[in-house]
Structure 1
Amino acid sequence: MTTRLPSTGAPDRAVTPGTTCRSDEVVVIHRLFRRLFAEAPALVRGVAPDDTSHAKRVAKHLHGIIALLHVHHRTEDEYFWDVMTDRAPACGLHVELMRRQHGAVSDRLDVADALVDRWAYRADAPTAARIAAELDEVDRLLLEHLADEEREAFPVLDAILSDAEWDDIHKHAQRHKPPMPIFVLLGLMIDSVPESERAAWVAKELPAPIRVAYRTVGRRQYERAIARVRAIGRGAAGASGVVPAMA
């Protein structure tokens, strides 16, 4: 964890006390990424050497979550950092840190993604070990970055962004084609919400038709997809200390 940065000393302008906590919506996404990348190395280590069928399923999952994180960070890059620089110049060091951390995570993701392509068709142990090590580092960097972002950037963004601007960001994010099946992504999202909060979150955030579709069709699709990814990886995940959270 990095230590809290001091401000640049430049005067703030157009910063007023926030009346919304719209960054809480992003925290839900962060919770999903924490979970996905915490378990990703164990999924790779759980594939037996030469089991290319299982490797391809895990590879497809990894490509999906890597693409999802890239899209999330590009959206933040487009909508957050320039407006912070303009409206809260005293936060210049925080913006610099966010950009630097995004770059570091992106570089590691690209390395892992390229290795996954090679490994999917060979399921060889040396490449699997390299992928798992890269994903371990992504997890470490991501945990540091998300904590820094939530502590240093989100209170400022809540103060300087209007509800209309938050709505624009949300609409922009929805325009991207999901890099994995929508019910699988929705299931991952729902299961990343603490169980004690899950029913209330679903009722608040999901329109009734989507709730019905997920309950009648989507949940089974999600569970089958996750079971296929975890086909022979449960023991390895448990041995590594990562609880199989979505089984």
Structure 2
Amino acid sequence: MTATKAPGAMTREMRMVHTALRREFGLMPKLITGVAEGDTARAALVAGHLELVSTILHHHHHAEDLEIWPHLLDRCPADVAPLVHGMERHHERIAFLGVDLTEAVAAWRSEPDPVHRDAVLAVLDPLITVLYEHLGAEEDYVLPLIEQHITAAEWNTMAAQAAAALPAEKLPLVLGIMMYEGDPGAVQDTLGNLPAEARDTLAELAPRLYADLAETLHGTRTPPKESAHAR
């Protein structure tokens, strides 16, 4: 991993993750409502993707809780503390809704009928709302603080922790999810953190895996981008 980062590099990397999360969660209600009653195979496919994206979000936030918020509270002026604590409260709210979503999705996956579908959507809607609010506030107010007060080593530790918590076999797909709309500089920085012997292979494999998944989920290898359905 790089010992230093160019100005704005951490901002680009964070925005790449955020854009992917907004896109995947934003597309989810249409996927869920498109599952026909009783179609357990399709419900399992959609539920599995929702579970993966939720897992990405959970570990991304957990890594921030460990490696970002404590450093900002230590190093920033006291008047920044309410902002940081607001970010932490968003994380708590999202985690709380995530537990309810996991339960609702499990029931719908087993019995994909309108009642269970609507139960999933009833949790997903407020989760998406608070998630979009959180990501927007983080980009507007927290990223400048991160660029100023977080070191490259601390940032890389956070990213490594989030990646290490994901199933190893899913990492190429997760990389493809991130790369789809990623800033070219952020994509190159992310690829640069990979082992040299795997870099070229993953640069080709990751986008293909995401395109394959998108075709199965959405019927197209180029699903709508985040800006097309931002709330």
TM-score normalised by length of structure 2: 0.81
Larger C-alpha radius of gyration, 1 or 2? Answer: 1
How far, CA to CA, are the matches of 2:169 and 2:104 in structure 1? 19
How far, CA to CA, are the matches of 1:71 and 1:58 in structure 2? 20
How far, CA to CA, are the matches of 2:210 and 2:97 in structure 1? 28
Structure 1: 5+ residue stretches without partners: 1-18
Q: Find 1:206's aligned residue among 167, 191, 197.
A: 191
- Provide the aligned length of Structure 1 versus Structure 2: 215
CA gap 1:42/1:212 in 2 versus in 1, 3 angstroms: same
2:217 maps to: 229
Q: Find 1:80's aligned residue among 59, 63, 68.
A: 68
2:95 maps to: 106
For residues 47-76 of structure 1, what are the alpha-carbon distances to aligned partners after superposition, in whole Å with 9 as ceiling and x for unaligned? 011111100111111111111111111111
Is the Cα–Cα contact under 8 Å of residues 84 and 157 in structure 1 kept in the other structure? yes
| Structure with the higher fraction of residues in helix conformation | 2
2:149 maps to: 160
CA gap 1:180/1:109 in 2 versus in 1, 3 angstroms: farther
1:96 maps to: 85
TM-score normalised by length of structure 1: 0.76
Is the Cα–Cα contact under 8 Å of residues 115 and 127 in structure 1 kept in the other structure? yes
2:7 maps to: 20
How far, CA to CA, are the matches of 2:64 and 2:85 in structure 1? 13
CA gap 1:166/1:223 in 2 versus in 1, 3 angstroms: closer
Q: Secondary structure at 1:20's aligned position in 2?
A: coil
The Cα shift of 1:38 comes to 0.6
Q: Secondary structure at 1:192's aligned position in 2?
A: coil
Which ranges of 4 or more aligned residues in structure 1 deviate by more than 4 Å?
200-204, 217-220
